[in-house]
Amino acid sequence: MSFSAKTKNELARIIDEDNCCNLAELAGLVRMIGTIIINKNNCVGLELTTESAAIARKILKLAKMIFTVETEVRVLRKNRLKKNNIYLVKIPPHHEVAKILDSLGVTKQGILVNPKVCGNITKNQCCQRSYLRGTFLGAGSVSSPENAYHLEIVCTDVIYANSLVELLAAFDLKAKISKRKKFNIVYLKESEQIVTFLNVVGAHVALLDFENIRIQKGLRNRVNRLVNCETANLNKTIDASMRQVENIEFIQRKIGLDKLPNPLRQVAELRMLQPDISLKELGELLEPPIGKSGINHRMRKLEEISEKLRNTY
């Protein structure tokens, strides 16, 4: 099961104590996956479609708790392999459904309202959290932090997408909108923002899993950076040592190391004996020991002598 599916399953089990919050969550679900149906007698009904059995059960429970209306559930099986079933939760056409749509902020006195987040339903912060939970359950997804940091809610209308961004801003969530074919995607990319969203909607188990994976990922990346850094330093040390040994061998062949000043001869002979150690370690082996800068200065002198000899011979 994907990280997103686990998160939705956790959220689908949450039932708020306050009826206003349950109404807000159902309103968010209806806004994302609801369809108004009208029968031949011009009576209005409502259908909600989801691929999650847990979300379908929640819709049923919320509808019965809030409106005590008759509901139906149909399972549509897909013929293609490895495809999830589709769950169709239906409130059949009935004269009460028009009132339900009004209370959910979808219509006002039977007329469709502007495609924005309903202000009356989301006046309280607790209801705002529930509404966001509903929108995420209906059309949201979150990537596993193992792969990428990405949470999105798919909207069909750009006006609604902008109003959803404004609602998220109430929780200091800086969501952005991108266009994907005919859809408007409200998304969060930063890990801290995604953690905040999971906390806002009540996905606390998913939040802890997200944080654990993020910490492990961060540690792995840090270890990899340290290993890469150590490898780069080691390669740099080896390359420098090989160049130094080459210069010293050339000097030895042309004039002999005994012709060098005593400080340079000491360093040259020690480098020939210890070609694999760093300049700092090389300086510690001298009597008396000298620092890395002192060794580096003598190595530059040896390189200059080698260059002069190459130009002479």
Ordered by start, the domain boundaries in the chain are 3-202, 218-312
- Which residues of the chain, if any, have pLDDT below 50? none
Give per-residue pLDDT as tens, 185-201: 999 999 999 999 999 99
> For residues 283 and 292, is the Cβ–Cβ distance under 8 A?
yes
The tokens 């929640």 sit on which residue? 58
Cβ atoms < 10 Å from Cβ of 28:
34
User: Is the Cβ–Cβ distance between 109 and 115 less than 8 Å?
Assistant: no
Q: What is the pLDDT of residues 254-280, one digit of tens each?
A: 888 888 888 888 888 888 888 888 888
Element (H, E) at 298: helix 292-312
**Structural class in CATH, domain 3-202:** alpha beta
Which residue reads 């700092």 in tokens? 280
Report the distance separating Cα 200 and Cα 21, nearest Å: 13
Of the candidates 29, 21, 22, 79, the one whose C-alpha atom is nearest the C-alpha of residue 49 is 29
In this prediction, residue 82 carries a pLDDT of 59
Provide the strand spans (E) within the chain.
34-38, 44-50, 72-76, 86-91, 107-108, 111-112, 140-142, 151-155, 176-180, 183-188
